[in-house]
Chains A and B, each alone.
Chain A
Amino acid sequence: MAGLEDLYREIILDHYRSPRNRGELPVPPAHKVEGFNPLCGDEVVLFLDVDPETDTVRDVKIAGQGCSISQASTSMMSAAVKGKPLSEVRQLIRAFKALMSIHESKLEGDGGDGSDLAAELAGVRLGDLEALQGVVKFPVRIKCATLAWNTLQQALDETAQTQA
């Protein structure tokens, strides 16, 4: 039986109580995306400002509300992607989903056997985000942890579209 301390690690509670990068950014140049968890009403509002010259995340701000897991995951995500090149951000998303036991290749049936992914992700450093690993033992909470990351994915996709 997984205990509460597996889920609510100190670093998670810290991000929940003192969320990083709260606020808003002017749109444009930033891109604004809202993510909802329809089951519980959690909401993430993500402002993502990508520098088109260097393809890096110039700034990121977060609004919205939700449970400790979704808020902490959002806060950690914002800290992890700020200043990063988009290629690294995409890798981070994949690595985080793998941490949550979500394997895109299996889910989306694109025929990947996962070994390429494992190789690709071997070098990705998750840092504080590793603290969210305990969420896997609480299946209903995985959606709380991934909300921010799905929203980030959507923001990247939409940014790519507007630039294309």
Chain B
Amino acid sequence: MSALDVATIKRDFPIFEREVNGKRLVYLDSASSAQKPLAVLDAMDDAYRNHYANIHRGVYTIAEEATAAFEDARRKVARFVNAPRTDEIVFTRNATESINLVAYSWARANLNAGDAIVLSHMEHHANVVPWQILAAERGVELRWIPMTADFRLDLTNLEQLLDGARLLAISAMSNVLGTINDIRPLADAAHAHGALVLVDACQYVPHVATDVQQWDADFIAFSSHKILGPTGIGALWARKDLLEAMPPFLGGGEMIRDVRLDGFTTNDVPWKFEAGTPAIVEAVGFGAAIDYISALGMDAVRAHELLVTRYALDSLRDRFGDSLTIYGPSNVDGRGGAVSFLFDGIHAHDISQVLDEDAVCVRAGHHCAKPLMRQLGVPATTRASFYVYNDEADVDALIEALAKAQKFFAV
């Protein structure tokens, strides 16, 4: 028995009413972006229709309503990751911008030539390239935690890697492998060396109850669109003392307290980091998405995904045996619902093209993790990923479509 009633949940998502190629839509690409429930669409529609105005500066009723809705969304986001304070949530465009904010503001104010940043081989480009830009600019050294044969972090040399490091920037869940990294011991080790900890929680937050205090993290980054919410908005959580000490990132309206011809003073956090008119209605949608998934219960969400993922791993192995290689931990415990695989002799693009005939949506490619793909020694994988609206029938549809692809390209 699943912890979630998927049939009912599917009905909450208008997109599942449509067909593709005359077939029921089997959406297995939520690790890339999740579908949106009616609750989110309605909340955004209502915000635009009935409560829309620019926020913070208006003294009229609808501007006050819009401001209240925006700040209420911040409260929901803060609670969702168990942030100690609401004003530790900075709204950004997405996880990528959240990480860049830390790279441009905190890192450029604090890191210099000779300092080191520790990353891992399984990072998304969003948690690689901002640090490479910094490294090229400042002569900061990048160090890499390697991977074990079972696609987990190889922590053998962690102490040496952290020696002299100022930051550990690490993913809580790999978008390619599904691997969940146990953040707390990593954070403890990093802190013991005087390094701060940034967690790329973009894949983790949508799927597992997140507690920044239990992690003892310093920064975490995530996106709304992977948590059933709209695109265009994401969040950075950071300890308040860090945010207060950090210089502003972008300059403009909203982030200032006062501006004179000879300079400016900054607003309080988090607004200090929110220059310009923000994604107001998207914030409302983000909040509605959090309400929706919280009502399902994050423990139930996790339990359901474990069930579907276990079923998928077993089905893939049973049906295709040695002609299919799964890139990710073999044990579902400590892994999320992203399953990457490679068929002998069939390119990922060709697989996903054939799957599209049966309205099975999977992702093919390098999944914005080219350093990882190089470690794996493959140019591209096919990835199926699961969320609250997927069930065993979706896995079965995947397996049947894959069997068709295998037959089609049979050598």
Chain A interface mostly = mixed
Say yes or no: B365 contacts A17, CB within 8 Å. no
- A residues touching B (Cβ–Cβ < 8 Å)? 1, 3-4, 7-8, 13, 17, 39-43, 65-69, 138, 141, 144
- Which of B347, B354, B408 is within 8 Å of A66, CB to CB? B347
How many residues of B are in contact with the other chain, CB < 8 A?
A: 18
Say yes or no: A68 contacts B350, CB within 8 Å. yes
Contacts of A17 in B (CB 8 A): 411
Q: A39 and B365 in contact (CB under 8 A), knowing A4-B408, A8-B408, A68-B350?
A: yes
- Jot down 12 A-B pairs with beta carbons below 8 A, ordered by A: A1-B21, A3-B357, A4-B408, A8-B350, A8-B408, A41-B370, A41-B373, A41-B379, A66-B347, A66-B379, A68-B350, A69-B349
Contacts of A13 in B (CB 8 A): 409
Contacts of A40 in B (CB 8 A): 348-349, 364-366, 379-380
Q: Which of B347-370 contact A (CB under 8 A)?
A: 347-350, 353-354, 357, 364-366, 370
CB-based closest 3 A-B pairs: A67-B347, A67-B349, A41-B379
Contacts of A4 in B (CB 8 A): 353-354, 357, 408
Contacts of B408 in A (CB 8 A): 4, 8
Once bound together, how far apart are the Cα atoms of A7 and B379, in whole Å?
22
Once bound together, how far apart are the Cα atoms of A40 and B352, in whole Å?
12
Contacts of A67 in B (CB 8 A): 347-350
- B residues touching A (Cβ–Cβ < 8 Å)? 21, 347-350, 353-354, 357, 364-366, 370, 373, 379-380, 408-409, 411
Contacts of B370 in A (CB 8 A): 41
Output the least CB separation between A11 and chain B (Å). Answer: 15
Once bound together, how far apart are the Cα atoms of A141 and B373, in whole Å?
21
Once bound together, how far apart are the Cα atoms of A160 and B373, in whole Å?
36
Q: Which A residue sits closest to B365, measured CB to CB?
A: A40
Q: A68 and B357 in contact (CB under 8 A), knowing A40-B366, A41-B365, A43-B379?
A: no
Say yes or no: A65 contacts B379, CB within 8 Å. yes
Q: Which B residue sits closest to A71, measured CB to CB?
A: B347
Once bound together, how far apart are the Cα atoms of A57 and B350, in whole Å?
31
Contacts of A7 in B (CB 8 A): 353
Say yes or no: B350 contacts A41, CB within 8 Å. no
Residue with the greatest number of chain B CB neighbours at <10 A, chosen from A4, A65, A66: A4
Output the least CB separation between A79 and chain B (Å). Answer: 20
